[in-house]
Amino acid sequence: MTSFQPTAEFAAELDAQDALRDFRNQFHIPLAPNGQPSIYLCGNSLGLQPKAARAAVEQEFESWEKLGVEGHFHGTSPWMHYHETLTASTARLVGAKPVEVVVMNNLTTNLHLLLVSFYQPTATRYKVLMEGGAFPSDQYALESQARLHGLAPDEAIVELRPRAGEHTLRTEDIVATIQELGDSLATVILGGVNYYTGQAFDMAAITRAGHAVGAMVGFDLAHAAGNLLLHLHDWDVDFACWCSYKYLNSGPGGTSGVFVHERFAERPDLLRLAGWWGHDPADRFQMKKGFRPMTGAAGWQLSNAQIFPMAIHRAALALVDEAGGMPALRRKSEQLTAYLEYLVRRLELPATVLEIITPADPAARGCQLSMLVHQNGRQLFDFLAAAGIIADWREPNVIRLAPVPLYNSFGDVQRAGQVLAEWAAGKAK
Ligand SMILES: *Cc1c(COP(=O)(O)O)cnc(C)c1O
């Protein structure tokens, strides 16, 4: 890795050796104002459109057009069982058994559904641990969950904060906080990857620590699914959910995935908000009283499947599988991000100008590098945009760049580095 070079020729060599290089052609790459394909480094926010997505949706339009209600039972992929066609890929994606996953709803909805089951505070065990400055939807979800149980959010929610002068959390500090909270801790809910800093958490260690004090442990994997190698079952995680439109390229507002550990698969007594699609299919259509949940994560379903977003998701997941799954994607991802890091570091900008706040340890990050730009960050962001580089801006002053292994090339990263170098040279004048 230390033998990187900043030249376009060097990047072209890496691209020539990249076994995944042709997957880029399976995506629509938005054009920059100059008519050239943009350098799209924003897959952490919205992944690009797989070319196969349109035909997948059109197929369901056709079933609806030709079959009407019979599309539930006939057609190329009957809607009645449509969601089940996502199970195998989803289980592979997150390191789960098929019974532990289901695709349904949207992320924040699923977070609430899971918290109803896995955050059940009592008089003495009522605290919930999360990241300070977590994604706002997660903060609002937790606040309202606390209130649902008659608790003041400030009393129930404990927020983790980095040490003074640091930007990310240390695993040892997370574990120490869990131990301190001890018997008062009901639930731990962290991001798998923090959306702002790009830090990937040690989910196995955090889960162990949580379980050791008798707490439930779950993760919001919005920025981790399709990004990290996940082993949710082996890590013994209790519950998790994620969206499909970031690293999973399944379109704006796309559907969401859920993981519930196998040990809860046969727990009809576990409180949940119920709907007919989670009911035992043997008598779902008897329309009788008395909810009996299906085995596994499927027992958390509420509604009949959203066929159109799921059609996109299925096409997108097929690409992940075709590429060799997360092990293959992760291998390229580590190299892409390391190359980007090299190109930023070689500018040797003082930390008072620009600082990478994402951990340098590849095991503690995914695709994304977050750059804290202390002066004129917005100007740099606009400079990148004018050069056809689509990054993303987070208030107050962070630029996130996320080279994605399925459709970004080393050439993309090299070009981004070159534009950053032009900006840095302009500053030096
Ligand atoms: C992207 C993201 C969300 C978005 O939630 P939706 O319900 O899909 O709108 C929530 N939480 C985290 C951590 C995210 O990164």
Tokens 């996320």 sit on residue: 402
CA of 344 to the centre of ligand 1 (A): 28
Average pLDDT over residues 385-397: 93
Ligand 1 atom closest to the CA of 107, numbered from 1: 7
Mean of per-residue pLDDT scores for the chain = 96
Does domain 8-49+326-428 fall under CATH 3.40.50.2300? My reply is no
Task: Provide the residue type at 184 as one letter.
Answer: S
Residue 88, pLDDT above cutoff 80: yes
Checking DSSP bridges between strand 27-28 and strand 49-50, what pairing results, if any? Answer: antiparallel
**Where residue 2 falls among pLDDT bands split at 50, 70, 90?**
low
CA of 263 to the centre of ligand 1 (A): 26
Q: Tell me the β-bridge partners of 190.
A: 219
Instruction: Output DSSP code: residue 201.
Output: P
From 108, 142, 313, give the residue whose CB has the most ligand 1 atoms within 8 Å, as the site to mutate: 108
Ligand 1 atom closest to the CA of 134, numbered from 1: 13
Average pLDDT over residues 94-121: 98
- Location of each CATH 3.90.1150.10 domain in the chain: 8-49+326-428
203's tokens: 């989910």
Ligand 1 atom closest to the CA of 191, numbered from 1: 13
CA–CA dist 131, 201 (Å, integer): 11
Alpha helical stretches, state H, 371-409: 377-386
Q: What is the pLDDT of residue 284?
A: 77
Ligand 1 atom closest to the CA of 223, numbered from 1: 15
pLDDT tens digits for range 279-336: 988 887 777 889 999 999 999 999 999 999 999 999 999 999 999 999 999 999 999 9
Count of all residues that appear for the chain in the document:
429
The H-or-E segment that residue 303 falls in is none
Residue 1, pLDDT above cutoff 70: no
328's tokens: 């293959």
Could you give the 3-state DSSP secondary structure of residue 40? strand
CA–CA dist 271, 324 (Å, integer): 38
Residue 38, pLDDT above cutoff 70: yes
CA of 23 to the centre of ligand 1 (A): 26
Q: What is the pLDDT of residue 428?
A: 58
**Where residue 130 falls among pLDDT bands split at 50, 70, 90?**
very high
The CATH classification of domain 56-321, taken from the options 3.90.950.10, 3.40.50.1370, 3.40.710.10, 3.40.640.10? 3.40.640.10
223's tokens: 């920025």
pLDDT tens digits for range 160-185: 999 999 999 999 999 999 999 999 99
- Location of each CATH 3.40.640.10 domain in the chain: 56-321
The answer for residues whose C-beta is within 8 angstroms of residue 320's C-beta and 6 or more apart is 89, 93, 226, 248, 326, 329, 406
Pocket of ligand 1 from Cβ distances under 6 Å = 106-108, 135, 137-138, 191, 195, 220, 222-223, 243
CA of 313 to the centre of ligand 1 (A): 17
Contacts 24+ apart (CB under 8 A), 134-143: 134/159, 134/190, 134/191, 134/194, 134/220, 135/191, 135/195, 135/220, 135/222, 137/107, 137/108, 137/111, 138/108, 138/111, 138/189, 138/191, 138/220, 141/108, 141/111, 141/112, 141/115, 142/115, 142/189
Task: Give the Å distances, CA to CA, from 110 to 138, 370, 414.
Answer: 11, 27, 38
Q: What is the pLDDT of residue 285?
A: 77
